[in-house]
Amino acid sequence: MGYATLEVDLWGGRGLTGGSADRPEAPHETLPDAYSALVYLAQHPSIDADKIALMGFSWGGVVSMLTATNAIDSAFNLPFRFAAHIAHYPVCYAYNQIPGFDFSNLTGAPVLIQTAELDDYDFPGACELMVSQIPESDQQVVTVIEYPDVYHTWDRLEPKLIVEDPASHVGQGGLVTLSPDLETAKKSRRKAVKFLQATFDK
């Protein structure tokens, strides 16, 4: 689609395997990874420093949303800023409910949240509800799409998997279904591309 991509391995660089049993304590520990990538890309001769987006999935979706806030962005005090944020299934129940997971006072960069109706971390409509409760000025830069009848990680095109995570079921913990859905994966990818095109190709 004409976009360069950089994939950041949040686990391998720390000697972790991922999953609920072998990951950092909180997504905040991996915020420096996102901003280090931003600095690297902004100084790359082939990259337009004003057109760098952050796209994250699950844990990475949390990181993408946190970096859309002035509180987090200003803390890193960089001469560069993410121009857009995409978050896939970013566990919306936590925002503005759990200390440190604030999603308000946004930088103004557009945010696309794509989530699943049957996500075992959330409840149906969790992301729409969360966004409806933030200031109207912030709501104007956020788009939420909830896909019906699909689960967390619908775009993980591997066999269905059931895992346990203490952060699931609105923080009560329990089993999580990770199940692919090819059509939704294609649709969500098209939505992400259109979002970037609308943001960058003005």
**Spatial contact of 65 and 95, defined as CB atoms under 8 Å apart:** yes
Count CA atoms closer than 13 A to 160's CA, side-chain side: 7
Please report, for residues 32, 88, 169, 189, the alpha-carbon distance to residue 178 in angstroms, rounded to integers and kept in the order given: 27, 13, 14, 18
Q: What is the pLDDT of residue 117?
A: 98
Tens digit of each residue's pLDDT, the chain (202 residues): 889 999 999 888 889 888 778 888 899 999 999 999 999 999 999 999 999 999 999 999 999 999 999 999 999 999 999 999 999 999 999 999 999 999 999 999 999 999 999 999 999 999 999 999 999 999 999 999 999 999 999 999 999 999 999 999 999 999 999 999 999 999 999 999 999 999 998 6
- Considering the entire predicted model, what is its pTM? 0.95
Query: C-alpha dihedral over 159, 165, 169, 173, to 10 degrees?
Result: 140
The structural domains of the chain, ordered by start, are: 12-200 (3.40.50.1820)
Compute φ and ψ for 89, nearest 5 degrees.
35, 65
Q: What is the pLDDT of residue 136?
A: 96
Where helices occur in the chain by DSSP H, the ranges are 31-42, 59-66, 70-76, 126-132, 136-139, 168-171, 182-200
Closest residue by Cα to residue 151 from 176, 188, 128 = 176
Three-state DSSP state, 116:
strand
